[in-house]
């Protein structure tokens, strides 16, 4: 996974210039304001922040302080077209990693970001090594010692208390269900944890299993039945092997994630869903999207945070 860089500038052209300069080596996420960017720190593990100094609302220096309140070690690079010795000194005193004057050479920016990302990598590695001196660790039943597992747990602890969807990637038998249970255990949800393996359900029954059905909706539907979304109300629904979901159901799952509503089979009345969705796959979903086998909009809806990977 590429290092993740956050870019904040109220000018779209400035953000796009930075993305073009860095996108080959980094995953770049751009925001028009500090207020928009701050919540993203709770959803992903960023390696560097590049922020303009003068912006409407929260300016770059105040943003720097707020970023460090959340993640003290996060490298923040301040850029501005109004560079003076005084503002440079003020930025460095406030804890900026470095200071860059507009217009800047893209290669200069890339070198500076490379230093910042390496700085963050070393800080994380040092923290992991210090923790490793205490031996193994256990979080919600996940036991491990490796740096990779510690990184997974670190992401879990940040995103589990939120309600954003999560995608878990990994081969069969690598503990994806355990990670999903840990997400639920670390969340604030009072409802049940419900797991559904899409590979075990015939395509003809999958919609009814997910969303329920009304009496008489199809042959054999002798009673009204609640689906797994209803059973997981106020809780977590784990959809394993999400890559096997039929295209028609992909659209209906997307509606639940976007609008918080679903319609049982045979009904015309939408039902509200207060459910945290965690998905898992042993397939390369990004490749499936390229091949037209999986909806791109659904892929990015369930991949709000970087996938908890293999």
Average pLDDT over residues 261-290: 91
* Residues making up the chain, counted from first to last: 310
Q: Where are the alpha helices (DSSP H) in the chain?
A: 12-22, 34-37, 60-70, 85-93, 106-132, 147-159, 176-186, 203-211, 228-231, 247-259, 285-290, 296-302
Structure tokens at 91: 């930025």
**pLDDT band at residue 299 using 50, 70 and 90 as cut-offs:** very high
Choose among 247, 277, 29: nearest CA to 162: 277
Q: How does pLDDT run across 42-65, given as a tens digit for each residue?
A: 888 899 999 998 889 898 889 999
Structural domains of the chain sorted by starting position, each given as residue range(s) with its CATH number in brackets: 4-129 (3.40.50.2300), 139-302 (3.40.50.300)
Q: How does pLDDT run across 143-187, given as a tens digit for each residue?
A: 455 566 666 677 777 787 888 888 988 777 667 888 888 888 888
Higher pLDDT, 236 or 148: 236
Instruction: Check: pTM over 0.85? Answer yes or no.
Output: no
Q: How does pLDDT run across 13-35, given as a tens digit for each residue?
A: 999 999 999 999 999 999 999 99
Is the four-CA dihedral 250, 256, 259, 261 of positive or negative sign? positive
């Amino acid at each position: 996974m590429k290092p993740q860089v956050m870019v904040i500038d109220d000018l779209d052209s400035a953000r796009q210039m930075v993305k073009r300069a860095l996108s080959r080596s980094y995953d770049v996420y751009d925001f028009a304001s500090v207020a928009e960017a701050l919540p993203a720190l709770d959803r992903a593990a960023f390696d560097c922040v590049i922020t303009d100094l003068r912006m409407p609302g929260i300016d770059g220096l105040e943003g720097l302080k707020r970023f460090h309140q959340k993640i003290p070690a996060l490298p923040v690079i301040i850029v501005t077209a109004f560079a003076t010795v005084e503002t440079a000194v003020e930025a460095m005193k406030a804890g900026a990693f470095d200071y860059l004057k507009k217009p800047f050479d893209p290669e200069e920016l890339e070198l500076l970001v490379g230093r910042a990302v390496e700085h963050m990598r070393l800080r994380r590695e040092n923290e992991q090594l210090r923790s490793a001196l205490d031996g193994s660790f256990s979080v919600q039943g996940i036991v491990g010692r490796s740096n990779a597992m510690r990184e997974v747990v670190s992401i879990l602890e940040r995103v589990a208390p939120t309600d954003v969807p999560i995608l878990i990637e990994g081969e069969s038998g690598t503990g994806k269900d355990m990670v999903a249970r840990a997400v639920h255990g670390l969340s604030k949800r009072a409802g049940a944890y419900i797991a559904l393996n899409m590979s075990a359900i015939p395509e003809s029954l999958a919609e009814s299993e997910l969303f329920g059905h009304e009496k008489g909706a199809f042959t054999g539907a002798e009673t009204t039945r609640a689906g797994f979304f209803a059973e997981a109300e106020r809780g977590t629904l784990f959809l394993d092997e999400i890559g096997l979901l039929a295209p028609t159901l992909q659209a209906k799952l997307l509606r639940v994630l976007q609008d918080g509503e679903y319609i049982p089979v045979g009904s015309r009345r939408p039902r509200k869903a207060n459910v945290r969705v965690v998905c898992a796959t042993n397939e390369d979903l990004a490749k499936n999207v390229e091949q037209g086998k999986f909806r791109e909009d659904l892929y990015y809806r369930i991949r709000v945070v970087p996938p908890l990977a293999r």
